[in-house]
Amino acid sequence: MTVERHDVVVAGAGLPGLATAAALARAGLAVALADRAPLACAPTDAPAWDPRVYAISPGSAAFLQRIGAWQHLPLERIAPVESMSIAGDHGGALAFTAYDLGERALAWIVEERALRAALVKAAHAAGVAVRAPAAFDALCWSAHDATITLADGPSLAAALVVGADGLNSWVRRAAGMVVAPRSYAQTALVATLECDDAHHGCARQWFKVDGGVLAWLPLPGRRISIVWSAPDALADELRALAPEAFAARVAAAGDGALGRLRLDGPIGAFPLQYLRLPTSVAHRLALVGDAAHGVHPLAGQGVNLGLGDAEALAAVIAERGPVADPGAPVLLTRYARRRAEPVMAMQGVTDGLARLFASPAPWLRLLRNAGLSAVDRLPLVKRVLAQPALR
């Protein structure tokens, strides 16, 4: 059996995995990236818009620039979020503006395929060795390294394995970290729509009386991307509608804020799940992205948490000083500690809000909407609340 030796093996080529591989390689490590699927990218100049987009925070954008990915994004297909309007389910309201927070934008809306293509280029430019497509067969450890055996190809041995293979992580299970995600009993529907009225760079979000959350995200021109986190039964009903009827339902659910809407492309769907682990590290193993945590998308912070994991892990290893071993327990402990607070805080906010707005209790409805409006009247509180999401 052929064994390839590297400093780090990243298992999983999603966005956090690609970012981790590129960042570690730029820090001078020999990095291999393995994934079950080919590392192919869809054209970024396709006429149709990708229904799946991400709200990239200013902090994440700065990290992507440092690893050489942001420079490869097509600027004409990126939209800044200059303001945000949040509506409760009983009259509550909260608004943010980039100007008030001293930012150029609250976030940047980027298509998934464009960000993936940029990160693939960054990984190749950094010298990452790609092993894909390659099915994972086994994962074993010794005192000094970890080895992933591929079903069709060489084994990959390294001082550190990074699990970046998603919410239902094979790497996590192979390490004995058996924690089942908890379902929200909701499905997120994603789609691109054209709108009659200009959105002026405003992202809008509505908490619905059925416990769902509807978000409209600005795209270039008179287009928006929507994420409707709907109860499963409603999601099934919406997906079965004709395009015109679906667009009309989205417009009505958003109080007709942008006039008539028209569906522009397919509707995507994915189930929503929550995952919290006791730790994100084990012997010669670090988890990043959805392999390490699952969050509700109501704050749009899932991908930013994953990019934050990549940035923190690369920084800890780059700053290791006399510790030559990138998989040393002291480094993994530093990484886990560095990420514990921001991940726990974001999970607490998103899960707490999802549960709070899912309750039908009348007194809770009054309280949560009053709370939204109270925060809106306190600029300093708004600034404090916004900083973790921005950075």
Q: How far apart are CA 58 and CA 10, in angstroms?
A: 25
pLDDT, position 1: 65
* Residue in 15, 21, 41, 24 with CA at minimum distance from that of residue 33: 21
pLDDT, position 300: 77
Tell me: the pLDDT tens digits for 192-245? 999 999 999 999 999 999 999 999 999 999 999 999 999 999 999 999 999 999
Residue 211 belongs to what H/E stretch?
Answer: none
Q: How far apart are CA 51 and CA 31, in angstroms?
A: 32
Q: How far apart are CA 19 and CA 109, in angstroms?
A: 18
List helix spans (H) across the chain.
15-26, 58-66, 112-125, 170-174, 232-239, 243-253, 302-318, 329-358, 362-376, 379-390
Q: Which residues pair with 281 in a beta bridge?
A: 286
Q: Residue 347 corresponds to which tokens in the numbers above?
A: 């999970």
Q: Domain 3-41+113-181+274-355, what fold?
A: FAD/NAD(P)-binding domain (3.50.50)
pLDDT, position 306: 97
Q: How far apart are CA 214 and CA 17, in angstroms?
A: 28
CB atoms within 10 A of CB 78: 20
pLDDT, position 382: 66
pTM confidence score: 0.94
Query: Is 218 in a helix, a strand, or coil?
Result: strand
For tokens 């039908």, the residue is 360
Q: What number of H helices and E strands is found in the chain? A: 10, 20
Tell me: the pLDDT tens digits for 167-182? 999 999 999 998 889 9
Asked if 254 contacts 206 with a C-beta cutoff of 8 angstroms, the reply is: yes
Domain range list for the chain: 3-41+113-181+274-355, 70-112+183-272+358-390
Phi, psi of 380 (to 5 degrees): -65, -40
pLDDT, position 219: 97
pLDDT, position 381: 64
Query: Is 262 in a helix, a strand, or coil?
Result: strand
pLDDT, position 391: 67
Q: pLDDT tens digits for the chain (391 residues)?
A: 688 999 999 999 999 999 999 999 999 999 999 999 998 876 767 778 999 999 999 999 999 999 999 999 999 999 999 999 999 988 888 988 899 888 899 999 999 999 999 999 999 999 999 999 999 999 999 999 999 999 887 899 999 999 999 999 999 999 999 888 999 999 999 999 999 999 999 999 999 999 999 999 999 999 999 999 999 999 999 999 999 999 999 999 999 999 999 999 999 999 999 999 999 999 999 999 999 999 998 777 889 999 999 999 999 999 998 899 999 999 999 999 999 999 998 898 888 888 888 888 888 888 888 887 887 776 766 676 677 666 6
pLDDT, position 225: 97
Pairing state between β 268-276 and 293-294: antiparallel
For tokens 């000083």, the residue is 321
pLDDT, position 370: 87
CA angle 164, 285, 311 (to 5 degrees): 55
Query: What's the CATH number for 70-112+183-272+358-390?
Result: 3.30.9.10
List helix spans (H) across 167-301.
170-174, 232-239, 243-253
